[in-house]
Structure formats: C-alpha cells, structure tokens
Chain A
Amino acid sequence: MIEYLFALAGVMVMIRLISGPSFADRMISTGALINIIVTIIALESFKVGKDFYMDIAILMILLSLVGTLAIVRYMRDSDVF
C-alpha cells in the first residue's frame, strides 16, 4: 500500500523532471527519483522476502552520487570544491 504513495510521488517528481527550466532542476529531480525507486525496491524486497534485491538498491544509490558529481563537474568550468 505504501508503494502506491511513493509511486504517486515519483509521477509528480517526473513532471518536474520533464518540464524543468534549467539543468539543476533536472539533476535535483533525478536524485529524488532515484531515492524513490530505491525505497520502492526495498519495500518490494521485504514483501517478497528475498534479500538480493537490496544489491540492486546499493548499486543504484552509489551510481546516483557518482553520476550526479560527474554531470555537475562537466557543467561547471573548473575548480570543483
């Protein structure tokens, strides 16, 4: 039942992801959408009862950080941090 609430939140975030004015809105929306997807994967893993679904969640949350830092580092000129 909680998955449907998170799915509705994901649809509303995806509207902002499509119609964001700048790239920063799209990066924020991508991070929020990946967080929602990881939460839905965790809920589904506890419903089914298998623990290898969480490996997918760990990979997604790590690749979210790496991808966000790579794209933002590309958009900016130089001297990050």
Chain B
Amino acid sequence: MFFEILSTVLLWISGIFAILGALGMLKFPDIYTRSHAATLISMGGMSLALIALILRAPWSIHSAKVFLVLIINLFSNPTSTHIIANTAYKLGIKPKVLVRNEWNGKK
C-alpha cells in the first residue's frame, strides 16, 4: 500500500519534469542550454518513471527488464549529450549566452 502511493507520487513528479523539460527545449536560445533541458527529460522524467514502475512490482522478471533499461540509460545519455555538444563546438556553433570562454577548441 505504501509502495503504491509512493509510485503514484513519483509518476506524477516525472510527468511534471517531462513537461518542464519540453518547455525548456522550446524556449531556450542555444544548443548548450537545450542539452540541459534534454537531460531534464531523460533523468527527471524517464529515470523517475522507471523507478516508480519498479516499485509497482518488485522482484519479478518484468521489473528486472525495467531496471536494465534504467542502467543502460544512466550510462548512454551523458555520453551522447557530451559528444553532441563537443561536436557542435568543434563545427563552429558559438554559445549565445557565454560570459567568458576558457577553451580554445584544442585538446
């Protein structure tokens, strides 16, 4: 009963996080700030919803598959976001809200 209530609360919080991340994807001015909004969708929306679904039926093969998706997402999403932002900087897309640049594009 406690897990049911906690799962429902976490699902609603994840839906609110997904809406806020999508609004950030629409309203932010730049690729480097939009990547923060995409991470908000991935971590706050997807990971929280999957944790809530694991709490719905613990210790079953169904929740084991959900846990596998959660672990794969925790490894793959920072990798892809980092390589996209690095390539965007290398191809010459400048940040619009930058105050001071400390990296000259070299390794």
Give the interface of A toward B (CB within 8 A).
2, 5-6, 8-10, 12-13, 15-16, 22, 24-25, 27-29, 31-32, 35-36, 38-39, 42-43, 45-46, 51, 54-55, 57-58, 61-62, 64-65, 68-69, 72, 75-76, 80
The answer to whether A16 and B80 touch across the interface, beta carbons within 8 angstroms, is no
Shortest distance between the CB of B29 and any CB in chain A (Å): 10
A68–B56 touching, CB < 8 Å? no
Residues on B with beta carbons closer than 8 Å to the beta carbon of A9: 18-19, 21-22, 41, 45
The secondary structure that dominates the B interface is helix
Q: Which residue of A lies closest to B68 (CB)?
A: A58
Q: Does B5 contact A (CB under 8 A)?
A: no
Decide: A38 and B80 in contact? CB cutoff 8 A: no
Chain B residues within 8 Å of chain A by Cβ, number: 48
Q: Which residues of the partner chain B approach A39 to less than 8 Å between Cβ atoms?
A: 14, 18, 45-46, 49-50
Residue in B41, B83, B93 whose beta carbon sits within 8 Å of that of A80 in the complex = B83
Question: Which residues of A lie under 8 Å from residue B87 when comparing CB positions?
Answer: 24, 72, 75-76
Interface residues of B in 22-72 (CB under 8 A from A): 22-23, 25-26, 31, 34-35, 37-38, 41-42, 45-46, 49-50, 53, 56-57, 60-62, 65-66, 68-69, 72
A15 and B26 within 8 A (CB): yes
- Known contacts being A9-B45, A24-B31, is A35 close to B65, with CB within 8 Å? no
Q: Which residues of A sit under 8 angstroms from B72, Cβ to Cβ?
A: 58, 61-62, 65
Q: Which of A8, A29, A36, A68 is B80 in contact with, Cβ under 8 Å?
A: A68
**Smallest CB-CB separation from B42: which chain A residue?**
A35
Per the 8 Å Cβ criterion, residues 1-26 of B in contact with A are 11-12, 14-16, 18-19, 21-23, 25-26
